Amino acid sequence: MEWINAVLQGVLIGGLYALFAAGLSLIFGVMRLVNIAHGDLIVSAAYIALVVVQVTGLHPLASAVLVVPLMAALGYSMQRLLLNPTIGKDFLSPLLVTFGISVILQNALLAIFTADSRRLATGGLETASIEIASGVSLGILPLMMFAASVLIILVLELVFFRTSLGRAFRATSDDPEVAQLMMLDRRHVFGMAMALSCAVVAIAGIFLAMRTNFDPASGPARLLFGFEAVIIGGLGNLWGTLAGGVVLGVAQAIGAQISPGWQILAGHLVFFLVLALKPRGLFPRMD
């Protein structure tokens, strides 16, 4: 039963990794940009949620009403002011800009909040669970994270394939020059893509803050987990990203069951195994 319980917990934590990865996959799919600052944006969203909860007294989940639009506005502004001028010139320029944003965010959070780790109190939600069999239980918070990841990926799929904004995303991604001739403002389209990515990041940051401690230096680890989930699942495939998060979560859970020191290493080993055997991921998008 211990192994079954470990695998189930790994599946559920994979939902959080999918949330880390969804925004990363979205930006890469639309702009072919690897956002080095993605993990630090997640941690920034966690700190914004912390401030909102402290100031308003809202429940951490309810803080999303304010955190999501704030992060979306930050993402749009960041894209229009900092990233758009570098997009299309070469691959290295936007990569360096996102690296610079990462450094600035980490140091700004350190200056404002110090290096002390923080956590959002959830009133016992993080310890609540449902027992489904003897020795096997499912945590309420992990269940909520997994359900949120499925819902968000479903919404992103609908936006991509059922809305005019999604058609603009696909057209700009496939051929930016032709899209420009069709009167699509590439700068605005890219800004909306980053805003949507940061809206997802806001949800991921809130769940991160509810699940575990975080500090200004936590961003690179979140970026790594998100990147691994994207690569395992397959670039450009949002449902594959969910599968990649689950695979990564299960690998870490099994590694932790073997030995606590193997938890993170097991996830990295599975990532490298997939990269070696299927470089395009387990479920690559079929073009």
For residue 270, CA distances in Å to 12, 34, 108, 252 come to 18, 21, 34, 9
What is residue 30's predicted lDDT score, i.e. its pLDDT?
A: 85
Q: pLDDT (tens digit, 9 = 90+) per residue, 2-14?
A: 778 888 889 999 9
- Measured CA to CA, the distance from residue 175 to residue 179 in angstroms comes to 6
- Kindly list the structural domains of the chain, giving each domain's residue range(s) and its CATH number in brackets, ordered by start: 2-119+136-277 (1.10.3470)
Asked if 100 and 78 touch (Cβ cutoff 8 Å), the reply is no
pLDDT band at 218 (very low <50, low <70, confident <90, very high): very high
Q: pLDDT (tens digit, 9 = 90+) per residue, 16-31?
A: 999 999 989 888 888 8
Question: Is residue 287 over pLDDT 70?
Answer: no
Q: What amino acid is encoded at 262 in this protein? A: W
**Mean pLDDT confidence for 80-91:** 85
Q: For 176-180, 211-215, 262-266, which range has the lowest pLDDT when averaged over its residues?
A: 176-180
Question: Is residue 103 over pLDDT 60?
Answer: yes
Q: pLDDT (tens digit, 9 = 90+) per residue, 104-140?
A: 999 999 999 999 999 998 877 777 888 777 777 788 8
What is residue 38's predicted lDDT score, i.e. its pLDDT?
A: 95
The DSSP result for 204-268, as a single string, is: HHHHHHHHS-B-TT-HHHHHHHHHHHHHHH-TT-HHHHHHHHHHHHHHHHHHHHH-GGGHHHHHH
- What is this structure's pTM? 0.93
Phi first, then psi, for residue 271 (nearest 5°) are: -60, -50
